Amino acid sequence: MDYFKTRRTIRRYSDRPLSDELIADMLDKAIHAPTCGSMQLYSVVVTRSDEGKSALAPAHFNQPCLTGAQAVLTFCADFNRFTRWCEQRGADPGFDNVQSFISAALDATILAQQFVTIAEMNGLGTCYLGTTSWNAPMIIDALSLPELVVPVITVTVGYPAESPEVQPRLPVSAFIHTEKYNPNSSERIDSMYGEFENLPANRAYVTENKKDSLAHVFTDVRYPREANEHFSHIFTEMLRKAGFLAEKA
Amino acid sequence: MDYFKTRRTIRRYSDRPLSDELIADMLDKAIHAPTCGSMQLYSVVVTRSDEGKSALAPAHFNQPCLTGAQAVLTFCADFNRFTRWCEQRGADPGFDNVQSFISAALDATILAQQFVTIAEMNGLGTCYLGTTSWNAPMIIDALSLPELVVPVITVTVGYPAESPEVQPRLPVSAFIHTEKYNPNSSERIDSMYGEFENLPANRAYVTENKKDSLAHVFTDVRYPREANEHFSHIFTEMLRKAGFLAEKA
């Protein structure tokens, strides 16, 4: 069980080849993860070619872990396949709505995490690209995703060429609540975040960015309000175009 | 690695006790799962009391796996704690939008799946309750969740009192796409779903429900359009009330 406490994200990969068969075999294991109502509301687009990676790179702000990966897996919420099946059998599918998108997005994320665990237990390194939901329209174009298919999370994978430290986490008491939510009082906030703020790497971010606190690094540099709101508008319009916000008058 | 291909959902649990310490220990391992920008945008409310389970039961349509579980874990997208921390440091957090909700929902789902894997590898049985996103407002009330905290997925857990078969899945070729999305042609649909439709359990559902096909069972009985749209409206209003759809003019 040691794996779970020592795992870490790997962003640099070696030249050691990763076969299509191993990727398919790991996905074949991962699909036994739980799925909403046995519907398997996901698809995975596997990008291995240099052209394919180049087409995806701008959507992920040209992060080097993408172009350097042996494979890039885009996990998509997919109600297209299920809807086509229902139509083909003469049934009336009604999955062009937010709730159906949420079900499919959870399915895709559960599958992605199961794949990550299996890959890492096989000695591979992985990195999630959260930029997937920010630039979903660019990814939809690059991968020719049809309606009711939305990219949710991307995983880069390859054999590790680095061995970073295990990343620190907040104490488990910060996020476990017993029976009811325990409000985040000022005292609890200070006690939860104190150690995190004092990590040498985090102190360095504050100095480098000339900010008052680590929190300012997050709000002013990494995830500023304007960017979050900009990508929220893009996301909502993408959902509408993908057919998940169909309004029935 | 056999675990991954043989895992299955467990809905009936024995009386064998599950300690608070083991739950906390498993969550302490699970938090090493990947998380968006090291922000850990989740909370877990652990319900163990009979009163607590009774309060949650209606939101989950009184599914017996909830009341019979040793513990019920509600995994929440949580931007409250992070926002409070930013405010307390004098920073200006801007996480009251859809994109931030999606980031937190993915974080909570990844944590939930990591917990499920760890629990099952410890010999426990688990069941996801997808009803969480349908009746989120009832769960918010029952667990006293503050703003910017939204329940995403629920896991019931306990030692197994049943040993069901491994659930069938579509062939891996149904959802792997190479470089570009491979459209779902009629031929592909028939070939993907043929085996699934012919499973004895699925044929029985069609007969019992007096439907024309298995697809009709999904569209008319399990996930009808009216229900999906009804719960979509509830979900959107819940997101607004939770503060994730704040419009800045």
3-state SS string over chain A? CHHHHHCCCCCCECCCCCCHHHHHHHHHHHCCCCCHHHCCCEEEEEECCHHHHHHHHHHHCCCHHHHCCCEEEEEEEECHHHHHHHHHCCCCCCCCCHHHHHHHHHHHHHHHHHHHHHHHHCCCEEEEEHHHCCCHHHHHHHHCCCCCEEEEEEEEEECECCCCCCCCCCCHHHCEEECCCCCCCHHHHHHHHHHHHCCHHHHHHHHHCCCCCHHHHHHHHHCCHHHHHHHHHHHHHHHHHHCCCCCCC
- Tens digits of residue pLDDT in A13-22: 999 999 999 9
CA distance A12 to chain B (A): 16
Residues in chain B within 8 Å Cβ distance of A248 = 229
Which pLDDT value is given to residue A249? Answer: 41
Which pLDDT value is given to residue A2? Answer: 86
Which pLDDT value is given to residue A38? Answer: 93
CB contact under 8 A, A118 and B4: yes
Measured CA to CA, the distance from residue A60 to residue B160 in angstroms comes to 43
Query: Nearest residue of B to residue A202 by CA position?
Result: B38
Question: Chain B within 8 Å of A68 (Cβ-Cβ)?
Answer: no
CB contact under 8 A, B4 and A30: yes
CB contact under 8 A, B37 and A128: no
Query: Nearest residue of A to residue B127 by CA position?
Result: A34
* Amino acid found at A158: G
- Tens digits of residue pLDDT in A14-71: 999 999 999 999 999 999 999 999 999 999 999 999 999 999 999 999 999 999 999 9
Which pLDDT value is given to residue A1? Answer: 55
Across A79-92, average pLDDT:
98
The structure's pTM equals 0.98
- Give just the sign of the alpha carbon dihedral B40, A5, B154, B102: positive
Which pLDDT value is given to residue A57? Answer: 98
Residues in chain A within 8 Å Cβ distance of B183 = 146
Q: Is the pLDDT of residue A85 over 50?
A: yes
Which pLDDT value is given to residue B2? Answer: 86
Question: Chain A within 8 Å of B72 (Cβ-Cβ)?
Answer: no
Question: Chain A within 8 Å of B22 (Cβ-Cβ)?
Answer: no
Quick one: what percent of chain A has pLDDT higher than 90? Answer: 98
Q: What is the ipTM of this complex?
A: 0.98
Question: Chain B within 8 Å of A33 (Cβ-Cβ)?
Answer: yes
Residues in chain B within 8 Å Cβ distance of A176 = 24, 27, 43-44, 46
Which pLDDT value is given to residue B47? Answer: 98
Which pLDDT value is given to residue B248? Answer: 57
Q: Which residues of chain B have pLDDT under 70?
A: 1, 247-249
Measured CA to CA, the distance from residue A141 to residue A151 in angstroms comes to 11
Which pLDDT value is given to residue B249? Answer: 41
Question: Which of A84, A97, A99, A196 should one mutate to test binding to chain B, selecting the residue with the greatest count of B CBs within 10 A?
Answer: A99
Residues in chain B within 8 Å Cβ distance of A216 = 89-91
Question: Chain A within 8 Å of B175 (Cβ-Cβ)?
Answer: yes
Query: Nearest residue of A to residue B155 by CA position?
Result: A34
Q: What element of type H or E holds B239?
A: helix B225-242
Which pLDDT value is given to residue A248? Answer: 57
CA distance A237 to chain B (A): 11
